[in-house]
Structure 1
Amino acid sequence: MATAGNPWGWFLGYLILGVAGSLVSGSCSQIINGEDCSPHSQPWQAALVMENELFCSGVLVHPQWVLSAAHCFQNSYTIGLGLHSLEADQEPGSQMVEASLSVRHPEYNRPLLANDLMLIKLDESVSESDTIRSISIASQCPTAGNSCLVSGWGLLANGRMPTVLQCVNVSVVSEEVCSKLYDPLYHPSMFCAGGGHDQKDSCNGDSGGPLICNGYLQGLVSFGKAPCGQVGVPGVYTNLCKFTEWIEKTVQAS
């Protein structure tokens, strides 16, 4: 599957104004100053593609359900699972699955990106394996200082698309710091991570991708200030501990 050019050109134009600096969906959405993930070390990672180009990421949370950011909503989806490289036409252990049903959180607010999550139902369940596996959602909310892992195929710091899945470790930022940095956009459905002196961050193309803390899915890449990877400016993630009941009810009802 090829990823020609930068599929995020249209999305980078979506800037949120009225706050100091420009904000861009996708937690600024590239993996900044990360490294190649070990192949298939993130078997829950999902690639949302359109016309063979990545436009968002997601997370397999059930054999028939992928969780992603609500701002990634489309009428239908092709979802790649078990992928490490986006350039391989048929990667061993991978699967491309169609999906036509997606459910955005009922209180999702597009301009402000509050409650930025949706569930996508795959047209058929997938069999879990060494390369494809669901992950459990954290029931506890994140703690400031926790080291967590973000992964994605978004733009690199040099502006190029990576050939393989990228991983980066970021630290959770306190709610007090996060709310001040993103006032008046901050909402309890969000939390911040990154912004350290190592300038590690997520950026364009990683929207909806996973932030893993202590082996559990803690957040989804949502948005951040442009340019990505600024010291003292963390990215914003959907705070999934706030939505476990809604996720469970939606999966059971559909």
Structure 2
Amino acid sequence: MRSRGLIINGVSAPEDRYPYSASLQYNSEHFCGGSLVAPDFVVTAAHCTSSPSKITLGRYDLDDLSDYDFEVMDVVEAFVHPGYNKETVDNDIALLMLERQSIHPYVKLNADSDVPTKSDDLRVKGWGDIDPSDNGQLTSDELRETTVTYIPNEICEQSEGYVVTSDSGGGLIKRGKTAAFDTLIGIVSWGYGCADPNFPGVYSRISEHFETFLKPTICANSRSPPPYLKCFTNNVASTLKPTTAPVPVPDGLLTIEIQTDPYHPEDLGWELLSVPANDLIQSRPIGFYTNRFGVSVSEEVVVQPERFYRLTIHDKLRNGFKGRVTVFAGRRHVLSDALVYEPGFSSISGASVTHGFFVGDSPPRELTLYLSFDNKPEEVAWSIESVADDLLPLGFKWFGWYNNGFSQAMETIPVYGRERGTQKYTFSIFDKFKNGLCCSQGEGSYSLFLGESLIASGSQFGEKESHIFEIDAFGKLTFAHLVTPNAAAQPTSRPTNMPKQHISDSSPLEDDFEEELPLNPVMPSNVDETDSWYNDIPSKLA
């Protein structure tokens, strides 16, 4: 194939156009591409299998931590073509079996040796090198694509070249009307330099390896081979290996995914406790991650389901944590299903931050938050805290969680039930640039409900707006009122000024908010000023 620019000088691909694209990553850094070709198999270049890797699926911008529904999986087994030659790069193709089935669509493998032709719409995609002069050091954060033209093998064989970095393993696609009609016809293998206009890029031809390697390997090992492969007909069925039953996932299994700080991993520690008993379930002391710079660590913990828990993340030197901590139920690691997402925090947070969450399918009761965004959804953050538990956040989304793809969102937040008696909560919503959800950047709004009872709503709140409300033991909303705008503070593990602590290494937020905000709750008509809880609000919120 001759590239008209390869990924260099290519364009950003449409965000949802190639949902089967895979990123092979080592220490959370992209080094090769791949394509999902079965629910549990990714195809890539054989020379990309020399380094241990995790497979990331469902990402468009690799630096956008608010991407929804992406998956990160381990490779269970790598099947390298038996004829692969490292010196000549012949048969540069491999299949990677994933630890579980992906929720993302796969692309169909081409079996027709007459494809491609000069008239086909061919695209190569990847996150690879975008600067031909830097030896592959500058790669793209966003998935990119470019058009290529077909050159017959007999012409291509008259040239010489060498392996291209970062783009390797990515897919050469015969583009259909939509992703469902795409066909994978090649794997990026090698070329002269990076996108040399006088030298064709070389791809491993899918049809060449379809019957002898790709189809039999997938049919023999996949837990759910694609129907179009017809694995259970002809001679393929006889080659299938007996499969073992999947290992059952224990009730209450949590997976804690940790991306350590790239500079000071030794400062990190964490503890998981029950709520309200505060029994220690699991912990990692400060110093546990010493010398593990910027790596991904997965921990599994089994807890009693249908209960609330508290995760506290500690920073020894109080100078910020530039890593990431995510908690998932079970082993299905889809970011939008995360029970906890801590994107990192700055020194403003001090020694620790805390998250509360519910484990199970039947929370005692739930709040529902409806958000309609203006033109800047990434500027919105919110939290719901339990007053009785020192403002433990039971629901929490920070700046950048909602990206430009959001116009609306609905969030369900588990809260305590009858066994905890009457409970009071605070709801706070923030706008990073102090212009609310309306109207300088479009028209947005928020509404928080308990069943059909409206707790809070608004749109024009500037920097911050907070509400205090009470739910009795029987699930009735007994009162809700607005705290004077800009009056309520963050949870005790957060600063009392405008929150700015949630800054990940790749976050665009750089300027701390320094002014202190006044605390002056507005007295609701149905609350007695002598009520001991009401008088204690300032101390709890400070």
Q: Which TM-score band (shorter chain)?
A: 0.7 to 0.9
TM-score normalised by structure 2 residue count? 0.36
- Paired position in structure 1 for 2:65: 89
> For the structure 1 residues 100 and 30, does the alpha-carbon distance in structure 2 shift closer, same or farther, using more than 3 Å as the test?
farther
Q: Is the CA contact (8 Å cut-off) linking 1:59 and 1:68 kept in structure 2? A: yes
Paired amino acid for 1:151: K
Q: Is the CA contact (8 Å cut-off) linking 1:57 and 1:205 kept in structure 2? A: yes
3-state SS in 2 of match to 1:126: coil
Match of 1:234 among 200, 205, 210: 200
- Paired position in structure 2 for 1:124: 100
Q: Percent identity at matched positions?
A: 29
4+ aligned runs moved over 4 Å, structure 1: none
> How far has the Cα of 1:76 moved from its partner?
4.1
Paired amino acid for 2:215: E
Alignment of 1:196-235 (within 5 A): 203-214=164-175, 215-226=182-193, 228-235=194-201
> For the structure 1 residues 143 and 124, does the alpha-carbon distance in structure 2 shift closer, same or farther, using more than 3 Å as the test?
closer
Q: Is the CA contact (8 Å cut-off) linking 1:154 and 1:203 kept in structure 2? A: no
Distance in 2 (CA, whole Å) between partners of 1:233 and 1:147 is 20
Q: Deviations over 1:58-83 (max 9, x none)?
A: 11000000000000114643110011
Farther-moved stretch of structure 1 (49-58 vs 151-160): 151-160
Match of 1:34 among 1, 4, 10: 10
Q: Is the CA contact (8 Å cut-off) linking 1:31 and 1:203 kept in structure 2? A: no
3-state SS in 2 of match to 1:248: helix
> How far has the Cα of 1:203 moved from its partner?
4.8
- Paired position in structure 2 for 1:249: 216
3-state SS in 2 of match to 1:242: helix
> How far has the Cα of 1:143 moved from its partner?
3.6
Farther-moved stretch of structure 1 (231-240 vs 153-162): 153-162
Where do 5+ consecutive residues of structure 2 fail to align?
176-181, 222-542
Q: Deviations over 1:183-208 (max 9, x none)?
A: 9x9xxxxxxxxxxxxxxxx9531110
Q: Is the CA contact (8 Å cut-off) linking 1:77 and 1:100 kept in structure 2? A: no
3-state SS in 1 of match to 2:42: strand
- Paired position in structure 2 for 1:105: 81
- Paired position in structure 2 for 1:167: 145
Select the structure with the greater relative contact order (CA < 8 A; seq sep ≥ 6).
1
Paired amino acid for 1:33: N
- Paired position in structure 2 for 1:139: 111
> For the structure 1 residues 203 and 147, does the alpha-carbon distance in structure 2 shift closer, same or farther, using more than 3 Å as the test?
farther
Paired amino acid for 2:188: V
> How far has the Cα of 1:92 moved from its partner?
0.5
Distance in 2 (CA, whole Å) between partners of 1:79 and 1:175 is 31
> For the structure 1 residues 230 and 140, does the alpha-carbon distance in structure 2 shift closer, same or farther, using more than 3 Å as the test?
same
Distance in 2 (CA, whole Å) between partners of 1:143 and 1:41 is 20
Distance in 2 (CA, whole Å) between partners of 1:122 and 1:90 is 23
CA RMSD of aligned residues (A): 2.3
Q: Deviations over 1:93-122 (max 9, x none)?
A: 211111131010001111111000111000
TM-score normalised by structure 1 residue count? 0.75
- Paired position in structure 1 for 2:20: 44
Q: Is the CA contact (8 Å cut-off) linking 1:30 and 1:203 kept in structure 2? A: no
Distance in 1 (CA, whole Å) between partners of 2:131 and 2:6 is 7
Where do 5+ consecutive residues of structure 1 fail to align?
1-26, 186-201
3-state SS in 1 of match to 2:7: coil
> How far has the Cα of 1:182 moved from its partner?
3.6
> How far has the Cα of 1:179 moved from its partner?
1.3
3-state SS in 2 of match to 1:243: helix
Paired amino acid for 1:243: H
Q: Deviations over 1:29-76 (max 9, x none)?
A: 971211000102111100000101011111100000000000011464
3-state SS in 2 of match to 1:111: coil
Q: Is the CA contact (8 Å cut-off) linking 2:6 and 2:145 kept in structure 1? A: no
Paired amino acid for 2:199: V
Distance in 1 (CA, whole Å) between partners of 2:148 and 2:164 is 13
Aligned residues: 205
Q: Please state if 1:178 is matched with 2:156.
A: yes
